[in-house]
Amino acid sequence: MNGQGEVNGASGRQQNGWRKGGRRIEGINGVRSTITRPRAIFQLARANIPLKSPIMFKTGAQTLLLTILAGLFLLRESTLRPCSAIDQRFADWLAVSGPRRSQPDPAPVTLVGIDDASTRDHPLPWTPLDYSLFAQAALTFRPEVTAFGEPLDWDLSTAAPGERQKLSQYEKILADTLLHCRKLLLAARLGWPDDPQLIPPLQETPIIRRITGNLRRIPEWTVIEKQPRETYRLSAALGFTNVLEENGAIDTVPLVLRYRGQVVPSFVLQAVLMWQKLPMDDISVELGSHISVGQTLQIPIDEEGAMRVNFGTPKTVMSFDDLLLSTEQIAAKQKPAAPVDRLRGGIALLARDDYSARTLPLALGRKGSEGELFAAAIATIQRQDFVTRAPVWADLLIIAAAALASLRSAAWRKGVFAAGSAFAGVLYVVGALALFAFTRIWLPLVLPVGLVMIIVLWRLALPDDSSRRAEEEAKENAPAKAAS
């Protein structure tokens, strides 16, 4: 009796689909059947009924977790070298090679370069006569600021007696010419004393008083290493041309520096202040945020007081010989060879641009001069064409998008998934170009590329879904074949 009841009870449980190790499912045409879970998967797969494989779900969850962890790791590494340098080079490429917003004219700054051709007729080091030729030619076109990127200082003690007398006369000619400039900016350079025990007395310099933040992050020097002669300093403003040394390419320019604990303006910041006709008291500095110039201009800076330069901002560049030739052509009522009309009301910057002066590693792996760097920085500020990185939430969105894509990566064939990932990378670059063209915000490169490579490699290491099904079928049919 008990045995018959057990059989009937087992039969009843079997009919209701509650057999141990089995599962009641809806089969084909609504027929209920009681089979084990692997069999149900293969039976429904043959009937083209979608069912999530437990192995596929496990693989997708693992890929999702791997993508999130890898994204957070890459997000951290992208702030450190060498990954940060790769992102910076990508931003330089966007600025130089990407589409530009329509601008009718270049920025009102003109770099008059002392190139190799100019040094043939006017060999280095230059004399006061050479500098006076530039000042006289620039005065013809009435620039708002006449700037000299090289310190007006030379050694007369080594010259011959007859040459020394000529240089003294040239100095007077240059001093008289500079007095006619609207605004005059002269270059100086901070440095260190030869003997650390003997520090020279503090010299008078322009000082920035309204500043907040950690002043220790600003680079500091103790002496003025090079500066113009006192005769020229009386009628001019000083700007310091120190450039921060970096391991990779230079894409920033300091706007504030420290001299014996005092915060002083750099050559670039001083040029912008003079061009906007503002005194030093009209600027305020918030390290790590911005520099407020007057009421309308804010310059983004980092914690060291440096601004990122947009090398794609258009500016005017001409050689010293072209300037002299254009002056003569205008005097003869001829069409000038160079666009010298752009000098009017702008900044005329004389700086070396010859081969020996191109020692700075600038954007896209090319060498450049300090004059080129300063002109690009001034143009960036004048056009307010500032380059900024996308905020952190943009990185988190990239990680989230990659994580969602990786969740279903196992459902795609390896070749199709790899091709789709490459296409997604191309779309990302095109989107980064478009975003930079309209907003001047650049997206990172290390984070998305690293995530794509990790997901693709992970997918290539996994078997296809059809291979997994074949393996499961083989395992399911193995006991039947062994019994037969």
Residue 473 pLDDT level (bands cut at 50, 70, 90): low
Q: Which tens digit of pLDDT belongs to each residue from 196-215?
A: 777 788 888 889 999 999 99
Give 211's strand partners. 285
Q: Which tens digit of pLDDT belongs to each residue from 305-328?
A: 999 998 888 899 999 999 999 999
More confident residue, 45 or 238: 238
More confident residue, 431 or 21: 431
Q: Is 205 within 8 Å of 264 (Cβ atoms)?
A: yes
CA-to-CA distance for 138 and 372, rounded, in angstroms? Answer: 19
- pLDDT of 220 > 80? The answer is yes
Question: Given this model, what pLDDT does residue 477 score?
Answer: 63
**Which residue pairs from 334-339 have beta carbons closer than 8 angstroms and sit at least 24 positions apart in sequence?**
none
More confident residue, 437 or 138: 138
Question: Given this model, what pLDDT does residue 481 score?
Answer: 57
Which of 212, 215, 217, 216 has the alpha carbon at shortest distance from 286? 212
**Maximum mean pLDDT: which of 5-19, 255-269, 423-437:** 255-269
Q: Look up residue 275 and give its amino acid.
A: W
Q: Which tens digit of pLDDT belongs to each residue from 24-72?
A: 444 444 444 444 444 444 444 444 444 444 444 456 677 788 888 888 9
Average pLDDT value for residue range 1-23: 43
Question: Given this model, what pLDDT does residue 59 score?
Answer: 61
Q: Which tens digit of pLDDT belongs to each residue from 333-392?
A: 899 888 999 999 999 999 999 999 999 988 777 889 999 999 999 999 999 989 888 888
DSSP codes of every residue in 181-232: SSSEEEEEEEE--SSTT-PPPPPP------EES-GGGS-EESEEEE---HHH
Q: Is 271 within 8 Å of 199 (Cβ atoms)?
A: no
Least confident of 200-209, 280-289, 364-373, 466-475: 466-475
Which of 188, 203, 181 has the alpha carbon at shortest distance from 274? 181
Residue 10 pLDDT level (bands cut at 50, 70, 90): very low
- pLDDT of 455 > 70? The answer is yes
Residues 6+ apart with CB under 8 A from 171: 128, 229, 231
Q: Is 403 within 8 Å of 68 (Cβ atoms)?
A: yes
Residue 13 pLDDT level (bands cut at 50, 70, 90): very low
Residue 248 pLDDT level (bands cut at 50, 70, 90): confident
* Chain CA centroid to CA 103, Å: 22
Is the pTM of the predicted complex or chain greater than 0.85?
no
% of the chain with per-residue pLDDT over 70: 79
- pLDDT of 269 > 90? The answer is yes
Question: Given this model, what pLDDT does residue 305 score?
Answer: 93
User: What residues does each domain of the chain span?
Assistant: 33-101+388-484, 104-382
Cα of first residue to Cα of last residue in the chain, in angstroms, is 35
Q: Which tens digit of pLDDT belongs to each residue from 106-142?
A: 899 999 999 999 888 888 888 888 999 999 999 999 9
Residues 6+ apart with CB under 8 A from 267: 147, 149, 185, 187, 239, 240, 241, 374
Average pLDDT value for residue range 282-289: 92
CA-to-CA distance for 353 and 266, rounded, in angstroms? Answer: 20
Residue 195 pLDDT level (bands cut at 50, 70, 90): confident
Question: Given this model, what pLDDT does residue 186 score?
Answer: 95
CA-to-CA distance for 107 and 112, rounded, in angstroms? Answer: 14
- H/E element, 290: strand 290-293
Average pLDDT value for residue range 81-109: 79
CA-to-CA distance for 271 and 147, rounded, in angstroms? Answer: 8
Residues 6+ apart with CB under 8 A from 254: 219, 242, 243, 244, 266, 304, 305, 306
CA-to-CA distance for 225 and 223, rounded, in angstroms? Answer: 6
- pLDDT of 159 > 80? The answer is no
DSSP codes of every residue in 349-369: EEEE-SGGG--EE-GGG-EE-
More confident residue, 322 or 2: 322
